[in-house]
Amino acid sequence: MAGSNGHYPPQQRYAHITGWGMAVPERVVTNKDLEQIVDTNDEWIQSRTGIAQRYIAVDPRETTATLGTRAAMAALEVADFPAAKVDLIICSTSSPEHTFPATASLIQDALGATRAGAFDLSAACSGFVYGISLASSMITAGQAENVLVIGAETLSRLVDWSDRNTCILFGDGAGAVLMQASSVPGGVLSSVLGSDGSGGDLLTVPAGGSRQPATLETVASGQHFIKMDGRAVFRFATRVMTEATREVLEKANLGADELDLVIPHQANIRIIKSSMRQFNLPEEKVFVNLQNYGNTSTASIPIALCEAIAEDRLKPNDNLVMVGFGAGLTWAATAIKWAVPDAREVPVWRAGQRSATYGLARMRSRFLRFSRRVEGSLVTDEGDAWGEVVSKRIESWRNVREE
């Protein structure tokens, strides 16, 4: 039972996914399209990876933050939950908008999630599952009630479009879930997180960080693009996907025969098949949609989750495992008992209310930017009476909270 403050005591708290959403750019790039730019062919790509097409953010206005924001809005809509009541936003990404500020903060601003903390999580393609594990721990420990976990990427901006080893693999997109505290048993049952930094060089963007800051030389030699040893990553991936799945099932006290659905990271159909072989799962229990999206890195699992739900592949009390691997090297798995609350009656006016709220968030953001500029130009001397008045007025505006 929730206490008078609406919080559940720790021993009765469970972390459930209550909303989900995804977003992809408009432009579809097929394998045939890629034949025009690198020495490859549709047959090779399909047989070696399973990928037939991917979505690419060709419009420069479409970014990791805009995709992440759209996915988060969709998740909030499914849960019928206002952005202003979100406590925390975790954005997993390997293609953040900037070194800083965090992409999560930009999404927080766009949503008008004025009460939320926000940070980016860097664990490459495993990041979304890391985020689920973290959000669940915060929720069950009583540190948070409503957490948005987002996986968002525009890796196409980091891909060397003349390198056939990598450019055929990746796609852009975002997926998000809202996780909420509940007294209903289930939700996240167990998690496994892993890393082996000795394999960091197998999949990396070498320059642009503090180790090799951007110079004319790093740009000219293509050091800002993704470099990958595909075969080594393949071997690592098949091993850790199997191990992480086995471990997370053990931790959740579940046998492989009790599994209802696995959502693996959508990197390569051969990796998925070979890593799942040991569990003897029928094909319909392993969700695959990489043929349509390519490898969207940390967005691949939440996008697949959205499609699995849309296809009715998850039912109440089903046991779900999500498992990923990626640069780092990293890997992560989580076992979830799917127990989403019954669909609520959402009043018809809610959509209008929601879009008005997002409009207000945009106005609020513009006002705060403007007010900072005004403040900067008026407050010249310390103790300046007029400056102080303006400053206080702005501060009180800043504290305006949207309900």
Q: Which residues make up the interface to ligand COA (CB under 6 A)?
A: 40, 44, 48-49, 125, 164-165, 168-169, 203, 228, 230-231, 233-234, 237, 267-268, 295, 326
224 catalytically annotated: no
Cis check for the bond before 101: say yes or no (omega within 30 of 0). Answer: yes
Rounded to the nearest whole angstrom, what is the least distance from the CB of residue 11 to ligand COA in the complex? 38
Q: At a CB cut-off of 8 Å and minimum separation 6, what does 122 contact? A: 92, 93, 94
Which neighbouring-strand residues pair with 339?
A: none
CA distance 376 to 379: 6
Rounded to the nearest whole angstrom, what is the least distance from the CB of residue 403 to ligand COA in the complex? 41
Residue closer to ligand COA by CB (options 48, 364) is 48
295 catalytically annotated: yes
Rounded to the nearest whole angstrom, what is the least distance from the CB of residue 358 to ligand COA in the complex? 32
| Active-site position among 125, 167, 268, 306 | 125
Q: Which amino acid is at 307?
A: E
Rounded to the nearest whole angstrom, what is the least distance from the CB of residue 322 to ligand COA in the complex? 15
| Active-site position among 31, 146, 295, 319 | 295
Rounded to the nearest whole angstrom, what is the least distance from the CB of residue 291 to ligand COA in the complex? 14
Rounded to the nearest whole angstrom, what is the least distance from the CB of residue 234 to ligand COA in the complex? 4
Query: Cβ-closest residue to ligand COA?
Result: 230
Rounded to the nearest whole angstrom, what is the least distance from the CB of residue 324 to ligand COA in the complex? 8
31 catalytically annotated: no
| Active-site position among 265, 268, 306, 319 | 265
> Residue 263: which of 315, 198, 336 has the closest Cα?
336
Give the residue numbers annotated as catalytic, written as ranges: 125, 265, 295
